[in-house]
């Protein structure tokens, strides 16, 4: 199972956070929408084969 499909299992348990750092395996519209619904900013690179447009991510925080 890919990471972004497995992530759907944890939507109800997402922590109260401002930002979540994740691997590009979690990059999906559904995961990003779930985060936005909780007011959480995603910090993850875009999956290159998934995104048509380039998304901005926070390289500084992702590299930490």
Predicted confidence pLDDT, tens digits, the chain (64 residues): 567 677 788 888 888 899 888 888 888 888 889 899 999 988 887 776 666 555 555 556 656 5
pTM reported for the whole predicted model = 0.69
CB under 8 Å to 16, separation ≥6 — which residues?
38
For the CA atoms of the chain, what is the radius of gyration? Answer: 11
Q: Judge contact between 30 and 4, C-beta under 8 A.
A: yes
């Amino acid at each position: 199972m890919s990471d972004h499909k497995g992530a759907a299992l944890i939507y109800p348990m997402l922590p109260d956070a401002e930002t979540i750092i994740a691997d590009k395996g979690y990059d999906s519209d559904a995961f990003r929408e779930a985060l936005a619904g909780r007011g959480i900013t995603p910090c993850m690179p875009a999956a290159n084969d998934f995104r048509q447009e380039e998304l901005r991510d926070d390289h500084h925080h992702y590299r930490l």
